[in-house]
Amino acid sequence: MLVSNVFAPGEALWLFLPAVLIVSAYKSKTAAILFAVSALCVVSYIYRHQIPYAFLSAFSLQGVWFLCLSTTLSVLLTHRSRQLKQAAFSENPKLLSTDSNGKIITDVLERFAVFMGVITPDGILREANKTALLSASLKESDVIGLPFEQTYWWAHDENVQQLIRRAINKAKHGVPSRFDTMARVTDGELIDIDFMLHPIFDEHGSVMQLIPSGIDITNRKRTERNSAMLTQVSADLLSASNLERIKTIITDNLVRHLNLSACMFCEAHTISERLTITHHWQNTPQHNVFSDADEIPFEVAMCQKENLPLVVNDVTKDPQYATADYQQRAIGAMICVPISLGKKNYFVLSVYRDTPYNWREDEIELVIEFTRRFWLRTEHLRVLDTLRASKATLDLTLEAAQVGDWDLDLTNDTSKRSLHHDRCFGYNEAIPEDQWAIKDFMQHVHPEDRQEVENKFARAIEQLIDFRCECRVIWPDESIHWIAIHGSLYKPHEGKPNRMLGIVADISERKRTEALQVAQTNALALMAQEAPLNVVLTTLLISLEEHSKNGMIGTIMLVDEHTHTLRLVAGPSLPALYIEQIDGLSIDAQMGACGTSAATKQAVFVPDIASDPSWTKYREIALSHNLRACWSLPIISGKDVLGVFAMYYPAPQLLDQVDFEGLDIIMRTAELVIKRRQDEQAMRLSEERFRAVADNIPQMAWMANAQGEIEWFNQRLLSYTGTTMEQNLQGGWKAHHHPDYEQAVLAKFARCLEQGINWEDTFPLKDRDGNYRWFLSRMNAIHDQDGKLVRFFGTNTDVTEQRKMAEKLTKLTNKLSVADKRKDEFLATLAHELRNPLAPLLNSMELIRNDQTEPDKIQAAVVTMERQVVQMVRLIDDLLDISRITKDKLSLKRESIELGKIIEHAVEMASPYVNRLGHTLQVVLPQNIIHLQADPARLAQVLGNLLNNACKYTPKKGHITLSVVQENKQVKICVKDNGLGISADMSTRVFELFTQVEHHLEQSEGGLGIGLSLVKRLVEMHGGHVECRSNGLGCGSEFIVYLPCEATNTTRSIPTKSLKKSTINRALNVLIVDDNQDSADSMQMLLDMHEHNTRVVYDGEQALIAADEYRPDVILLDIGLPILDGYQVCEAIRKLDWGKDITIIALTGWGQEEDRRKSSEAGFNHHMVKPITLSALLELLAEVSPQSN
C-alpha cells in the first residue's frame, strides 16, 4: 500500500524487480532482503516528507532505484572485504570460493544496465561492468589499470576530469560524491549521467575501495532543458500581444534548441481553407528552402490533408520526398505538425534540417508542444479580442438601450456601477463606489415597495436564484420613477456566491404606457358596452392626468357640425365655471388654443396664456382658475376634424415631453371612440335608409349574418312569393326554388358561405301563383374596416325577359355571323363584277387607238364601251340603293302611273341583256289599264331586276314570261323562266342580302347578290310583297310581285309617243374644275367637239383665279378638290357680284341626299353624279343662256 500510494503500478515494479531477479538467479536471500530493506527506507522517506510525484518524475525513478542498489552493493562489498581478511589470516580456501558473495557482486555488476566499476583508493580502475564497456565500444584492456579520470569516458573534457579527481580524493577520506556530468560513449557522443562515487570501508572503517556508478540521465536532462525552455517560452508568449510576435518567439526558440536550418508557418484562409506561408526563417540564404507563397510545399500539403504530424528523418531515403526539389531546397530532415480544430486545419508548423537527422522522440514532442502552445496563445489572444469587442459592444448596447449595469461584491458590500445605473436613481454624475451599498439602494426605494424588494433580494441569496423586481424609486428631487432590476449570482467552483451582477433600467415610460393602455382597454370595453361617450372619454383623461408630473388637466371638445362650434364632452378636472364659458366655443383662429387648433387643423401650444394674443376673450377666466399654459391638438379622421384635445397646466411652461408621448395613445383611442360612435350613429341612420330603399327597389333583397343565417327579406320578395317574414325566416324561402335546380343552387350557396366569398347564380323562383320566373341572384360579403366578415347582402333580379332577349340575341348573332360570311363573299363578287367591264372597255379603247380606218369596228367598240359603262353604273346604283334602304334614307316619289308604261320601261332596259343571250321574252298584259300609286323609276327597277335575274339564271335561248293579273285592288306581276331553278332550302333565302343561288361557272352571268334583296325592299316600301317559287333545280323559277292598285275599267288604247324638246346648241364659256386631270381633260375635249369654249384647272385655288379672269357662263365643279374644296369655291364665287348668276354644276361621285342638300346650300345650281352621260350634260347646257361678258 505504501508503494502504491507513491508510485503508479508500473513504476512500483522498478523497486521489486531487482530483488526478484537476484532471488531467482542466485538463490541469494541476503541480497534480496538488503535491496528490499533499502527500498523500503527510501519509500518511507518519500512518504514521510510528502515529496510530490512530479518532483520524482523530474529526477527519474531510476535514480531512486539505483540508490537502493548502491546501498545493497555497499553492504555486500563490506561483507566481502571481511571475508578476504579472514582468508588472509586463516588461509581458509572456502572463503575464496567462486560461490561466495564476490561472485554474486560480479554477476550483479554485469547484469544491470548501469555504469558500474571498482576503483582502488589511489584512483586506478580495477573493474568495469559490460554495460560501461559496451556503451563506448571498449575492451577491458582499454581502461583497466588506468587512472579512472583518464579513461575514455572522461578524457573528452578537462573540467570533467577535474570533477572526477576531486570526487576520488573525497572518497578516499570516506566522503561519497554525486553529481551530474557528461560521459563520452560510442562515436564520441556525449551523454548526461548521474555520477556517484561511494567508498567501501573495511571492518576498521578504512576505505578499502571505491565504487563508481552512473546512470544515463540524458532523457531526464533533456526533459529538464525542455521544461526550462518551455517555461521561458510560455512567459514570452504571455507578453506577446500580436500574432507575428508569437510566431517569432516560436521559431527563434525552436531554431536555437533544435539546431534547425529553417522553420515556417503556413496559415489557412478562413473561407477557402487554402494554405499560404505567413512566417518563415532560414539560415541558408543561398538555398530557397520555401517555395513561392502561392505554391504550398508538398510536405505541408500532405500534413494538412492527413491532419497528422509528419516526421521525415532522411528525405533521400523516403520515396515520397526523394526528389530534386528537396535537394534544391537543401532539406535533409523535417517535421510538420498541423494545428487544427475539429476536422479543419488552421496552421501548419514545419521545421527543417539541411542534413538527414534521426529526430528523437523528445524533439518530436517538443515541436508538437510548441505547436500546441502557439495555438493556445493565439486562441487566447483571439478570445481576449473577442471579449474586448464584446465588452465594448455591450457597453454601447447598454448605453443605447438606456440600461445601467452593476457588480455587487457580497463579501464587503461594495459595488461597481455604470453611469447610467446612477442616472436611474436621479444622479447625473457617478456616485463613489464606497457610497453605494445595499442599504443605499434600499433607501432610494419607495417606502411602499421597500419590504417586497428586501424580501426578493434575501430570497435570491438564500435560494441561489436570480434577483428580479420592478419597483418605484425616489429621486433626489423627490420625483417618483419606476425601475426594473435583474441580478444573477456569481459562484466560484466551490463555496458560496460572492458576487451579484445585474442591470437596471428606468421603466417609467413603460409603466406610464401600460397604465394608458389599461385605460384604453377600459375605454374600449365601455364603448363595447355602449356607455355614453363622455364616460368613455373621461376614463381616458383621468388616466392621463394621473401620470402627469406637472398637474396637467385634460379636456376633449367635439365639433358641432350644425353650429360650427366646439362642445365640451369630457373634462373631469376642469373648473365648472370655466366649462360654462368655453362650451360652444367658435371655431376661429382667434378663439384661444382650441378654436385656433380646430380652425387650422394644426397643434397649437401656448406656453403662457397671460401673454398670448389669441386668448384675449378667455384670458381672465383662464387665469382666475389657475390655467396658465395650454396645448391643443386637433382630433382628425381622414380630412375631417372631429374635435380638439387640450391640456392645461397650472404654471407657464414649455411642452412637456412625457405628456406629449402619452398623448399618442389617448389621441388614437379618442379618435377611434369618437369615430366609432359617429359611425354607429351613421350606421343606424344608414340601415334605416337602406331598409327603406331596399323595400322599394325592383329586385328582391335579403340579408344574412356572418354564419349565413338569413335574417331579413325585403317587401318585394314577400310580395312576389306571397309569404310572410316569419315564414321565410323559419326556412320557408327554400320552398320558392324549383325542385330541378334546388340541390345544385343550395350546394353552391353553402360553399360560398363557408369560404366567406361572393356568390352568384341564375335559377327559377316560384311566384305566389305557382309560376316560375328566372332570377339572377347575387350575394356579396360585407366586411368591417378591420376586414372582419360582418354579414351578407343578396338580391334576386328578374331576368326572364333578359333571357328571352338573350335567346333572340343568340339567334341574331348567328344571323350576323352568316351575314358577315355573305359580306365577305359579296366583296369578292363585287371586285369580280367591277373588273368584268374593264376588260372590254380597255379592248375597245385599244381598238379605237390602233384602227382608225374601219368606222364599223369603231362604232361596235363604242357600243361595247357604252354597254359596259351602263353595267358598272347599274351595279353602283344598286349598291347605293341598298345603302339608302339599310339606313332608311331611300324615299319614294309616288305618283299615279299606268303599270303598262312601267313594264314597257323595264322591258326596254332588259332588252339588250335578253337579246344578247338569245332569250325569248313574252309579255302578257290584261286588257284593262292598271294604275298604281308608285315611284315609276323604282318600280321599273324592280321589274328590270327580276327580268335580269331570269336572264342570268336561264341558259342561252331560254324562255322568259312577264305576265300581269289584276285581282280586285291588287295586281300580281309574275316573271317566270325555264332556267336553272332553285332548291327548296334556297327559296326562302334568295331575298336575303348578298345571297346568290349556287351555279356552275359556265352558267354564271355574274351579279352581287343584292338585286333580289333590293326588289324585296322596294316592293315592301310600295306596300306589297314578293314570292319565289320553284319545283327544284333544273325546273325553272317564278317570282311573283303583289302590289296594291287602283280599281279601273279603262281599256288600253294605242299609246302615242311624245316628242322630245328640241335641243339648240349655243356656244358657252365653260370652266372645268377637277383634280382628276384625265377626267377634266376628256370632258374638255367632248365639250370642244360640241363647239363650246372651255378652260381647265385642277384645284380650288386656281378655280377662283380662272373664274375671275375667264368669267364663264357655266362652271363644272368637282367637290373633292385640294387646297379649297368645291363647296368653298362655290360659296366664294357666289359672294362676288359677277358670280351670282353663273350656272355652277356639281360633278361628283357623292350622290346621297345629304350630298345633294349640302351642294344646294353651298350655291350649286345642279348636282350630277359621276359618271355622267354627255347627252344629259348637253341637255343641261342647252338650258343655259350665254352672259354678256
CB atoms within 10 A of CB 224: 15
Which is nearest to 351 in space by CA: 444, 447, 446, 255?
255
Grid cell locating 863? 357600243
Which pLDDT value is given to residue 1166? Answer: 93
What pLDDT digit, counting tens, does each position of 826-857 carry? 665 565 556 556 656 666 666 666 666 667 76
Cα–Cα distances (Å) from 177 to 131, 149, 161, 199, 931, in that order, read 21, 14, 14, 9, 176
Q: Cα separation of 1148 and 1119, whole Å?
A: 6
Hey, what CATH topology would domain 402-508 get? Beta-Lactamase (3.30.450)
Which pLDDT value is given to residue 377? Answer: 83
Which pLDDT value is given to residue 97? Answer: 38
Between CA 309 and CA 314, with CA 313 as vertex, the angle to 5 degrees is 130
* Beta strands across the sheet bearing 499-506: 414-417, 403-409, 499-506, 480-490, 467-474
With a pLDDT cut of 90, the percent of the chain lying above it is 16
Which pLDDT value is given to residue 1106? Answer: 92
CB 179 within 8 A of CB 166: no
Where in the chain are the domains?
A: 11-24+32-80, 107-217, 240-387, 402-508, 530-682, 699-806, 893-1044, 1069-1183
DSSP assignment of 248-315: HHHHHHHHHHHT-SEEEEEEE-TTT--EEEEEEEES-TTS--S--TTS--HHHHHHHHHTS-EEES-G
H or E stretch covering 207 = strand 207-216
Which pLDDT value is given to residue 972? Answer: 93
Q: HSE-up of 410 (CA within 13 Å, CB side)?
A: 19
Paired residues of 119 in beta bridges:
125, 210
Which pLDDT value is given to residue 74? Answer: 52
What pLDDT digit, counting tens, does each position of 864-920 carry? 677 667 667 766 766 666 666 665 666 778 888 898 888 988 888 788 888 888 899
- SS3 of residue 956 by DSSP: coil
Region at 1004 (left for phi over 0; alpha for psi -120 to 50; beta for the rest): beta
Whether cis (ω within 30° of 0) applies to the bond prior to 532 is: no
Domain 699-806, architecture per CATH: 2-Layer Sandwich (3.30)
Give the contacts of 210 (CB within 8 A, at least 6 positions apart).
Answer: 118, 119, 120, 121, 123, 168, 171, 172, 197, 198, 199, 200
Domain 1069-1183, architecture per CATH: 3-Layer(aba) Sandwich (3.40)
Residue with cell 383665279: 1105
Which pLDDT value is given to residue 478? Answer: 81
Which pLDDT value is given to residue 13? Answer: 42
DSSP assignment of 333-356: EEEEEEEEETTEEEEEEEEEESS-
* 3-state secondary structure string across 313-338: CCHHHCCCCCCHHHHHCCCCEEEEEE
Q: Cα separation of 212 and 129, whole Å?
A: 11
Between CA 1114 and CA 1123, with CA 1120 as vertex, the angle to 5 degrees is 95
Matching CATH topology for 699-806 and 893-1044?
Answer: no
H or E stretch covering 910 = helix 899-917
Grid cell locating 84? 578476504
CB 585 within 8 A of CB 595: yes
Which pLDDT value is given to residue 1062? Answer: 39
Strand 1037-1044 with 970-977, pairing = antiparallel
CB 716 within 8 A of CB 695: yes
* CATH number for the domain running over 530-682: 3.30.450.40
Domain 240-387, architecture per CATH: 2-Layer Sandwich (3.30)
Grid cell locating 70? 548502491
* CATH number for the domain running over 893-1044: 3.30.565.10
pLDDT-flagged residues of the chain (< 50): 1-29, 45, 47-62, 81, 84-85, 87-102, 112-113, 293, 999-1005, 1053-1064, 1189
Give the contacts of 123 (CB within 8 A, at least 6 positions apart).
Answer: 147, 148, 149, 165, 168, 210
Grid cell locating 985? 332550302
* CATH number for the domain running over 107-217: 3.30.450.20
Q: Cα separation of 368 and 357, whole Å?
A: 18
Q: Cα separation of 289 and 277, whole Å?
A: 12
Look up the pTM and report it.
0.35
